[in-house]
Structures are given as C-alpha cells and as structure tokens.
Amino acid sequence: MKKFKDIKTASYDLLLSGKSKRKFERFIFIVAFAGFFLHLGLILLANLGIIQTGGAAGLNNPIEALYTPFSIILFYEVYCLIYFLPKSITLYIGMQFEIMALIMIRAAFDEMSSLQLVSDIGEMFSQHNFLYLLATIIILFGLIYVFYRISQSTVRRENSGEPTLIKQKELPKQYFEAKRILALFMGALFLILTCISLYYLITGNSSIIEFVQNSKPFTRSFFSDIFTILIICDVTILLFSFAITDEFHRIMRNSGFVISTILLKLSFSIDGVASYLLIIVAAAFAIGILAFYKMYEKIELPEE
C-alpha cells in the first residue's frame, strides 16, 4: 500500500505539479511558435510555386497558418483541464468551455481564410455561418465570464485564506485523493490517445502536404474523443459525490455538469447553427446549475 502511495505521489509530481505545468507551458509555446512559422513557410513556398500542393486545403492563405498554433494550444488547454481537476470542479468545468471557445476561434480563422473578397456588402453578409460563428464566440465568452463570476467570492476567500461564513460539511480526505487518482488516469488516457492519434496521422500520410490537409478532420475527431473521456470523468465524479455525501445541492451540481459536458460532446456530431446552439445551451445550463448551487449553500436546512 505504501509503495502504491509512493508511486502515485511521484507520478503526480512528475505530470501534474506546478513545476511540470510551467515546463509544459514553455514546451507548448516553442512548439506552437515553430508550428506557426513552419506552416507559414509552406504556404509561402506554395504561393511562389516552389512546391506543388494541387490546391490542398490549409496551404492557400496565410491566415490558415493560425490553425496550427491554435491546435497546439488546445492540447495545452486539455492538460490544464486535467491539472485543475483535483483542485476545483468548477474550474475544471470552466476549462471545458474555454476549450470550446478556442476551438470556435480556430474555426473562425479557418472560415476567414475561405471567405472571398466581394464588392457588395450585402453579399459579404450573406455568409451566414461565419456571422453565426462570430456571434456564438461573443456569447460564449460572456457566458464563461458569468460562470467564473458566480464563483468569484469563493475563489477570493480561498486565495486570501479567510474563513467561510457558510456552514458546510467537511469533505473526506479520500474524496480529494480519488480526484488526484482520476486526474492521473485522465492524464494517462490523454497521453495514450495523443500518441496513437499522432502515429496514425503521421504514418497515414505520404507527404507533409497530406499531413497538413488531413490535420483538420484529425483534430476535430481527437477533441470529440477527448470530450467522451470527460463525460466518463464527470460521471465518475458524480458517483464519488454519491459515495461521500448526501448533500442534495452538491449532487445536483455534479449531475448538471455531466449534462453540460454531454451537450458539448454532441456539438461535435453536427455542424452549423445547431452545433452553436448546443454549445450556448451547455454553458447557460452550467451557469444556472452553479448559480442555484451557490444560493443553496447560503440557506440553512434542518439538521438530522
């Protein structure tokens, strides 16, 4: 048992400590920076006619080069999500919405690269999907702000070390240990999924041109799989809450977060306005659940 604890502690320090996070930040910055200029260089060579792309997607417009660093940064956001899981469920859920926001911004850059220059303003605004996408990004950004704003008083109190005025049941130590183990399990799955996906992407393409062309459907499928893992994680947290507490409002909050994650996962299976609506509904639902959870904490219930 002691050996298992030592292995768990060593693994956690290696993968999910603050020091590891800072190292991973620097690594991601270097890779994203290099990926951007490599992609930009390929587009330049294609435009100069030095390499023949055959009109391959992702190699026609300099704006398309932004897709690469944003995709790499998204991998870092997934790591941050796993990093914050043992520390705060609310922050862990908020990171899911941050990932969706970055995915949509990346999609906006992709749409901008395909928009044609037009002289008629009316024709330009006929690109409905692009306009809906921009509107969804703004709305989602606002909803993320509201989501974090609801928990701001708790965060400030925890940061300052002030005692809470709200009577709460102390959660057992096993609950936090279980979340640390769950975070390690998620980290292992994330690493395995990344390595397998990159292996098939690299070996399945005969040239760097094909690699760039097929990277877009690859990343969409990859992050869809990531949200499948997140659903499993959310359900596991919900089961933990059933096991360690009978507090109705905590169970409701965790159940609501599961529904929100499922809605985000479903948004990958459809395109267009329906996908955007699912994302907004997921964020709005999570805000509603969290708001009522916070209000519920302030009321005094009959003791057993």
DSSP readout, 236-299?
HHHHHHHHH---HHHHHHHHHHHHHHHHHHHGGGS-THHHHHHHHHHHHHHHHHHHHHHHHHTS
- The pLDDT, as a whole number, for residue 166 is 42
Strands (E) in the chain, as ranges, are none
Q: How far apart are the C-alpha atoms of 285 and 227, rounded to whole Å? A: 17
- Calculated CA dihedral for residues 63, 64, 65, 70, nearest 10 degrees: 100
What angle is formed at CA 114 by the lines to CA 113 and CA 118, rounded to 5 degrees? 105
Q: What is the pTM of this model?
A: 0.83
CB 12 within 8 A of CB 184: yes
Provide the 8-state DSSP code for 64: G
Angle at which helices 89-114 and 128-150 cross, to 10°: 160
Per-residue pLDDT of the chain (304 residues; tens, 9 = 90+): 566 666 767 777 777 778 888 888 899 989 988 888 888 888 887 777 776 666 556 667 777 788 888 888 888 888 888 888 888 888 889 999 999 999 999 888 877 776 655 555 555 556 678 888 999 999 999 999 999 999 876 666 555 544 444 444 556 677 777 888 888 888 888 888 888 888 887 777 666 767 776 777 778 788 888 888 889 888 888 888 777 777 788 889 989 999 999 999 999 888 888 999 999 999 999 999 999 998 888 776 666 5
Closest to 77 (Cα-Cα) out of 59, 67, 58, 91: 91
CB 180 within 8 A of CB 12: yes
Q: At 246, phi and psi to the nearest 5?
A: -110, 15
Contacts 24+ apart (CB under 8 A), 251-256: 252/289, 252/292, 252/293, 252/296, 253/89, 253/289, 253/290, 253/293, 254/89, 256/285, 256/286, 256/288, 256/289, 256/290
